[in-house]
Structure 1
């Protein structure tokens, strides 16, 4: 290596009148380098420096050792010192000795040799005056390190220990972020600044320490461009408030800055405080990053923390977690002695142990299981066992404890273990893990199993995704008695909530295997794959896969039906098949009798299966059904009897009475439609028509109006004069019966009958009048008046809602039609209304 030297100092004024110039330079140094270097190696004495210091005072002046990156990427290492007053007495006289390092600073390429900061105090630096003779020869290497007082350095580290973690975190930012704030080190002695910089370079990878720019002293920090800047206290004032540009470390004036949560920086600080700085060299030989990767970056805390713990350096919880995680993935990188020391350090009592550390220790223990000797992993096993008992967590793998350790731990932890197992506040997974610990330690917990099994079964039914984890799965596999009890409890819970049982098997690998019957669980396990297709066939398959008969466990049928249909009832046809196939007794004992009834009453109006099902259910007795449900079935039975014409008198009033008993809307709609259809039939009884008219029942009359608008009624009105005549007489009668009937009969006459009559040809119209004449009374005359424009409107005004009987009513009319008197056109005043509804 050929490192050019440059000497710069004051001298008698030269041709340009300047007293400062390069006085000795190695051959071949270009003028451009000299011009750039001249801007970097100047020296301005402190503000309080005496104008003409003595020789003793000169030794107390700060020294400026600096490293700068030049415009071409090369570096300049320089030492500038004060030598006394200049010729004018106004400016300090100084001498600068610089070394040019031509190799560019590059973090991605190896850089050998000493770190530049180690040149502090090197005897190879020139004296405080230029050498005799010029030019000076180049150097072969960076000046050799100067003497280092290790005791003084240790005292310095101890005095500034609170600042170290934050300082190392900021140094890391300098190496990673081009725009990171500059670090300002406020020290009276520039040697202390050099120690700060040595600490920074020691924790960085060697090649990054080669290009960390610095100066141990500057009078004007605002103009300095180095990454680390040393200043005396009076020059550091006013910088602390500029956090975006500076991070100021002034141990004499300010508290330590709050460090970033950086486990690497925290670990590095602990290592220096423990005076184990040789670990920084050792860690560079260890792999970092995830297993199988060559490197995870130079600032991964894991390898450094693992070496520190193995060397006896105490770390906080985040550092211990990083060490355990790294060692779990790189167990081959440490020898048995280091692994044992690491395990013992992790197992040592610590008040700040957090969940991340506990989890990382568990991962390390799993990595060591079956690989490291028991003596290596045993401390971690004891830690995991004690942690699982006292604060919850996963149990360690079985078989890692020697017999002496097992007996000692069993005696020590048995009281706490039993107390934790009987604590209902502990989570089910924790209590299950404790059962595994009990089995490993040989502690008898048979009497406690039922309570733990019940709690776990309830958790699995309630939230299977959260409750069924790795620990629960392992415990159910390792502890047959626990599995038997849990499945038994689950079978009972699934009988009460089959949907939750089916979800349990859909989202977890648990299966109802074993010697127990478990009929409800077996059906729940089959339900996710059997839901599609013919639901009656699915029901049959589920009952068969339960493994028991309905006589042995009648509730199997209820579970199967709830798995197939959920909260909704089956269709009426499906319920009819289920009743026919399995019988009335099976459904009553299973508690599904009401479900069948709800299937009937929830069917759409007009569903014939619903009528047949209702009749069958009533035939077997409906005393145990709720009153509204029984009324619904009776309405469906009434509809069926009307349809097959097996009905006695009073069925209109019967329908209305049942309609007020709270039946389902569909059952009432079904029955009212049947009643209306029968009231519009050819052989409708007059007594039932009178009951309809006098009922003033809005829903029943609405059903009657809907039925009258069916195409079959219009066809019959058009083709059957006698039927049309009877409808006219009925719909013209009883104007005093109530407002609901008034509205209904007006709608029927105007909206149903009038369009038909207007479309009749003359022969059919004459036939209709003849049929009205045969009814007796004045119906034919009333009909002719009703046809005239405005006539019906006048009649409606006179009779609508008045309750008045016609004075000219004929006695030859049928009783129903004559009850309100005939409607005579001459009885009403002219209103100009043509009879159409608005």
Structure 2
């Protein structure tokens, strides 16, 4: 408050006390003085003392894990002119992970009335206490902003719902020239899901448009989109078939979204007539990826398709008995399809007596 209105002989000792408390006291909420307070020899003296401590902590294994603490240290480093360029990639990588982890938990909301109007507007009403300081850091240091947004974009496909929650709590400034396809998708997701309602495939398509790139060119955007729309649960069979048609099997394979399609087939009720056909398409499209029990269950579904179409080879009952052990514990819907198709063929007027 005294910066610019009092002589340096008055402000310098006070500024030194503040940054010393910020570095040594572990208090991430200390309001830092302006940079001009450290422009003279007093600032150089403080940097000589605190600089090595800042570098030591930022280079340690725990750097970046405490969001408020890391933000505070990076801001103090800038004030004192401490060079942290070599440490920045590792610190920012861990900070990005900590931000997503924090978004998954309930954070206490701190009073931000002492922040400037622009920062208060950018920080959402339920934003965490460190949000204003983080936004100030990103505004002050372009290199930190670029590196942090890039790190968040890289890990967003692994936790798109966490990234969506983070952006809902803190309005990160990524409107510049960086591509950031995954963050842009996460920012678009709430409005897309609200606008599309029950049309979840439509929501996926809208979110993908926000990425600015095709899943054929960058398959990971498909993983982010599917994770945003189906944070929990699996698509329906109809949705899975639309997703399979909307992108190549190669794109789903690279994105890892084929597992969502498998879950759709295996979790389908016995009344879902398209589940066996989906199983057939999945076995054909992902022969190397689908293994173990899931493969056994899909083979049961595919055999139900063969039975209903008349393409199954003789010894139907034996075939079901052979396939079932490899599918255990098998889903009720899968068993319903297999046994239903078998019973239908055996009890049909033209059913072969040899199978009874």
TM-score with structure 2 length normalisation? 0.83
Give the structure 2 partner of residue 526 of structure 1: 188
How has the CA–CA distance of structure 1 residues 472 and 659 changed in structure 2, closer, same or farther, with 3 Å as cutoff? same
- Give the one of 329, 335, 339 matched to 1:668: 335
Return the offset for 1:621: 5.0
How has the CA–CA distance of structure 1 residues 512 and 666 changed in structure 2, closer, same or farther, with 3 Å as cutoff? farther
1:432 aligns with 2:71: yes
Return the offset for 1:450: 1.6
The 8 Å contact of residues 204 and 229 in structure 2, kept in 1 or not, is answered as yes
Give the structure 2 partner of residue 159 of structure 1: none
Structure 1 Cα separation of the partners of residues 271 and 307 of structure 2 = 12
The 8 Å contact of residues 253 and 286 in structure 2, kept in 1 or not, is answered as no
Number of residues of Structure 1 aligned to a counterpart in Structure 2: 323
The 8 Å contact of residues 185 and 211 in structure 2, kept in 1 or not, is answered as yes
1:505 aligns with 2:167: yes
Give the structure 1 partner of residue 15 of structure 2: 381
The 8 Å contact of residues 67 and 99 in structure 2, kept in 1 or not, is answered as no
The 8 Å contact of residues 453 and 489 in structure 1, kept in 2 or not, is answered as yes
Structure 1 Cα separation of the partners of residues 99 and 135 of structure 2 = 12
Return the offset for 1:591: 1.7
Return the offset for 1:596: 1.3
How has the CA–CA distance of structure 1 residues 675 and 468 changed in structure 2, closer, same or farther, with 3 Å as cutoff? farther
Of structures 1 and 2, the larger Rg is shown by 1
The 8 Å contact of residues 374 and 401 in structure 1, kept in 2 or not, is answered as no
- Give the one of 12, 20, 26 matched to 1:392: 26
Return the offset for 1:514: 3.3
How has the CA–CA distance of structure 1 residues 421 and 634 changed in structure 2, closer, same or farther, with 3 Å as cutoff? closer
Give the structure 1 partner of residue 48 of structure 2: 411
The 8 Å contact of residues 38 and 44 in structure 2, kept in 1 or not, is answered as no
How has the CA–CA distance of structure 1 residues 377 and 559 changed in structure 2, closer, same or farther, with 3 Å as cutoff? same
The 8 Å contact of residues 432 and 452 in structure 1, kept in 2 or not, is answered as no
Return the offset for 1:563: 1.0
CA RMSD between the two structures: 2.2
Give the structure 2 partner of residue 127 of structure 1: none
Secondary structure (helix, strand or coil) at the match of 2:232 reads: coil
Give the structure 1 partner of residue 125 of structure 2: none
Structure 2 Cα separation of the partners of residues 620 and 421 of structure 1 = 47
How has the CA–CA distance of structure 1 residues 396 and 425 changed in structure 2, closer, same or farther, with 3 Å as cutoff? farther
Give the structure 1 partner of residue 314 of structure 2: 649
1:594 aligns with 2:259: yes
Give the structure 1 partner of residue 98 of structure 2: 459
- Give the one of 68, 89, 109 matched to 1:450: 89
Structure 2 Cα separation of the partners of residues 616 and 411 of structure 1 = 66
1:610 aligns with 2:275: yes
How has the CA–CA distance of structure 1 residues 530 and 468 changed in structure 2, closer, same or farther, with 3 Å as cutoff? farther
Return the offset for 1:557: 0.9
Give the structure 2 partner of residue 29 of structure 1: none
Matches within 5 A, 1:745-760: none
Quick check: which one's strand share is greater? 1
Cα deviation 1:500-539 (Å, max 9, x = unaligned) = 1111111222243333322222211222222232111111
The 8 Å contact of residues 428 and 452 in structure 1, kept in 2 or not, is answered as no
Give the structure 2 partner of residue 92 of structure 1: none
How has the CA–CA distance of structure 1 residues 459 and 666 changed in structure 2, closer, same or farther, with 3 Å as cutoff? same
Return the offset for 1:417: 2.9
TM-score with structure 1 length normalisation? 0.37
How has the CA–CA distance of structure 1 residues 616 and 378 changed in structure 2, closer, same or farther, with 3 Å as cutoff? same
Cα deviation 1:229-259 (Å, max 9, x = unaligned) = xxxxxxxxxxxxxxxxxxxxxxxxxxxxxxx
Give the structure 1 partner of residue 205 of structure 2: 540
Return the offset for 1:425: 4.4
Secondary structure (helix, strand or coil) at the match of 2:193 reads: coil
Give the structure 2 partner of residue 493 of structure 1: 155
How has the CA–CA distance of structure 1 residues 482 and 467 changed in structure 2, closer, same or farther, with 3 Å as cutoff? farther
The 8 Å contact of residues 15 and 37 in structure 2, kept in 1 or not, is answered as yes
Cα deviation 1:588-618 (Å, max 9, x = unaligned) = 2222223212211211102122122122223
Q: Which runs of 4+ in 1 moved over 6 A?
A: none
Give the structure 2 partner of residue 683 of structure 1: 350
Structure 2 Cα separation of the partners of residues 479 and 651 of structure 1 = 69
The 8 Å contact of residues 384 and 396 in structure 1, kept in 2 or not, is answered as yes
How has the CA–CA distance of structure 1 residues 621 and 489 changed in structure 2, closer, same or farther, with 3 Å as cutoff? closer
Return the offset for 1:624: 2.7
The 8 Å contact of residues 184 and 211 in structure 2, kept in 1 or not, is answered as yes
Structure 2: unaligned runs, 5 residues or longer: 108-127
1:474 aligns with 2:133: no
The 8 Å contact of residues 628 and 664 in structure 1, kept in 2 or not, is answered as no
Return the offset for 1:473: 2.2
